[in-house]
């Protein structure tokens, strides 16, 4: 019997972002703070992982995209008996550059996004969407698709966006990565400008049972820009379990 696949979305998005690839039995929740759910005080990747874990089936395959990949890594580390396998898309263990970690966005850029959320969150969210699509094979179409997903699912709350930006700035899971022994498929866009490819290559080298596959001419959202290639990779990985 195929295990349920739980999909965790990225910053500013909703679970509906996966509607184009989700198969029967997949679970695509809104992260806490999105939709009708509430956001725990001082939310961290670990605290969100604990909330989501308590709501999920006993055995799952966990798919995390972008910010969702950080929560997925924390979930797999804290509840290894529940997570049978991982699929990490556009993943990084540490979103922001810091000492001995050059494979993230500069701290000044992350701070600018956080400041932008406080002053004009809609413009900042649109700028982030454009950055996600930059370099993709058809960036204009991808930006339109991302904006349509937000419009269709409902706008995020500014306080949720601010909390998510803090989570991205503060989370550093590098020390936990080697403990993630689950079979793991890393899928990364060749042209990802948000989570640089070296971050995924580092994860693949540090995780005991990980394999990294690139999608050519894709940026930060390969499941939207290249759904057929993405589905082929995921289906093969799941059916091998």
58-73 pLDDT tens trace: 999 999 999 999 999 9
Percent of the chain with pLDDT over 90: 79
Active site residue 175: no
Q: In this structure, is the dihedral angle defined by the CA atoms of residues 189, 194, 195 and 198, taken in order, positive or negative?
A: positive
Catalytic residue among 47, 136, 192, 226: 192
For the cut 80, the answer to whether the pLDDT of residue 5 exceeds it is: yes
Segment 126-141 shows an average pLDDT of: 84
When the pLDDT of each residue in the chain is averaged and rounded to a whole number, the result is: 93
Catalytic residue among 9, 103, 188, 220: 220
Q: What is the pLDDT of residue 217?
A: 93
pTM of the model: 0.95
Active site residue 9: no
Domain of residue 224, residue span: 5-239
Q: What is the pLDDT of residue 176?
A: 96
Active site residue 178: no
Give the pLDDT confidence of 146-163 residue by residue, as tens digits.
888 777 667 889 999 999
Which residues make Cβ contacts (< 8 Å) with residue 191, sequence separation at least 6?
134, 135, 136, 217, 218, 219
78-91: b (≥16 Cβ within 10 Å) or e: bbeebbebbbbbbb
Give the pLDDT confidence of 97-108 residue by residue, as tens digits.
999 999 999 999
CATH number at residue 168: 3.40.50.1820
Q: What's the total number of domains in the chain? A: 1
Catalytic residue among 66, 69, 136, 225: 66
């Amino acid at each position: 019997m195929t295990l349920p696949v739980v999909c965790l979305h990225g910053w500013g998005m909703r679970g509906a972002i996966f509607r184009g690839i989700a198969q029967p039995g997949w679970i695509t929740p809104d992260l806490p703070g999105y939709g009708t759910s509430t956001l725990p005080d001082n939310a961290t990747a670990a605290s969100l992982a604990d909330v989501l874990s308590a709501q999920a089936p006993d055995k799952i395959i966990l798919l995390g995209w972008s910010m969702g990949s950080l929560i997925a890594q924390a979930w797999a580390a804290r509840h290894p008996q529940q997570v049978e396998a991982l699929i990490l898309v556009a993943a990084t263990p540490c979103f922001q550059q810091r000492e001995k970690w050059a494979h993230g966005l500069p701290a000044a850029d992350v701070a600018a996004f956080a400041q932008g959320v406080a002053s004009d969150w809609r413009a900042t969210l649109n700028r982030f969407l454009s950055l996600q699509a930059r370099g993709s094979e058809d960036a204009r179409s991808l930006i339109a698709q991302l904006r349509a997903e937000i419009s269709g699912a409902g706008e995020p709350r500014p306080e949720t966006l601010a909390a998510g930006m803090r989570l991205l700035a503060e989370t550093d899971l590098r020390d936990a990565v080697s403990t993630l022994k689950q079979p793991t498929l890393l899928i990364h866009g060749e042209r990802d400008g948000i989570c640089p490819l070296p971050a995924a290559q580092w994860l693949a080298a540090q995780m005991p049972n990980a394999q990294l596959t690139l999608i050519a001419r894709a940026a930060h959202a390969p499941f939207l820009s290249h759904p057929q290639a993405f589905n082929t990779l995921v289906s093969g990985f799941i059916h091998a379990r």
